[in-house]
Structure 1
């Protein structure tokens, strides 16, 4: 089965394909020559995820999944949250986002945070399903590691002494917020295929 992933982010497409069984192939918007930049106008991760999935499904009638993820820092009242990708500006620059977050955390003792993901799946019949995943951890004060993307170099998951960007893909794909949401999606797909 081919499922369109409503994203132009090649890193996320690659990560999702690593999480999928052999009979499911994830294809990104670029592979389908879908060039539109889907506006994320929702106020929650659930809304943004649904907006992206619905946009692609309504235009192309393909099974589609979309995610919206956010980093929620406790002492910053859940910031950057739904604005994680564009925290430091519309250009979605990972380094500027991390620099702004670290600057906003200066002088704060509580560095606890969690990543959340909401995945929306619209099947070939047009039925909508949402799946959530989260992972707790803390923000460290310097960037470490070269794997991953986004805030991975400054997020250390609970129970580990390495950032997401220092962990192997195998470990990250087992414990991450996205992996947990995808696991729920796969359980759903397995259930409906019975």
Structure 2
């Protein structure tokens, strides 16, 4: 059976690497946006992680003409009313670096004892016509008063996971995948991947037939 191209709708190499590793061995050829020429940026203006994940997945699938998998994830801090939430990647402003976002978070929590937080991940797998599957997971932890560890990306150096007594940035990739929000969501996708591929092929076939029907309707009459 012909393999399907699945595009991970991100240029973030850390996210892309985690998803590639999780789906290694699955019957798909995985690419990400770095494998293609310039395409318009998606404005992540949704109110929820679900909104943004679907918007990125559908837009990428529609533009490139192949199924796309998008992740929208972020940090929700209890004492900050769930902030930074959907603004996690740009908490310190558009184009902010991980260090700048981390510094702003530490400043916002200065002097606070309640440092409970959770990482949330929503995965959306969409086909060009707009149909999509959604997977969601979360991981509970605590925000430290200073970064620890050199691994990971984003808020990983500040996010402490009590059961392993490590920050995400101190974990091996295998440890992080086993407990993280993205790892949990990807494991759900892994477990259903055979069914997901049946669903994807059915949707792509529906689209092919629809396009053929549309072309027949629009074709000029040569008689």
TM range (shorter): over 0.9
Which structure: greater helix fraction? 2
Q: Which range moved further: 137-146 or 155-164?
A: 155-164
Cα offset for 1:114? 0.3
Of 6, 11, 14, 2:14 maps to 11
C-alpha distance in structure 1 between counterparts of 2:176 and 2:8, whole Å: 20
1:149 matches 2:156:
no
The equivalent of 1:46 in structure 2 is: 50
| CA RMSD, 1 decimal | 1.6
1:117 matches 2:121:
yes
The equivalent of 1:94 in structure 2 is: 98
* Residues 119 and 192 of structure 1: CA distance in aligned 2, closer, same or farther (over 3 Å): closer
* Residues 81 and 4 of structure 1: CA distance in aligned 2, closer, same or farther (over 3 Å): same
1:114 partner SS: strand
The 8 Å contact of residues 16 and 26 in structure 1, kept in 2 or not, is answered as no
Gapped regions of structure 1 (runs ≥ 5):
none
The equivalent of 1:84 in structure 2 is: 88
Cα offset for 1:61? 1.6
C-alpha distance in structure 1 between counterparts of 2:59 and 2:129, whole Å: 15
Gapped regions of structure 2 (runs ≥ 5):
199-223
1:179 matches 2:160:
no
* Residues 156 and 24 of structure 1: CA distance in aligned 2, closer, same or farther (over 3 Å): farther
The 8 Å contact of residues 62 and 127 in structure 2, kept in 1 or not, is answered as no
TM-score between the two structures when normalised by the length of structure 1:
0.94
Q: Which has the larger radius of gyration?
A: 2
Q: Report Cα offsets for 1:130-178 as digits up to 9, x if no partner.
A: 1001100000111111110000000012312110000000111111100
Cα offset for 1:37? 1.9
2:166 partner SS: coil
1:129 partner SS: strand
C-alpha distance in structure 1 between counterparts of 2:125 and 2:139, whole Å: 21
TM-score between the two structures when normalised by the length of structure 2:
0.82
Cα offset for 1:125? 6.9
The 8 Å contact of residues 124 and 134 in structure 2, kept in 1 or not, is answered as yes
Cα offset for 1:126? 4.7
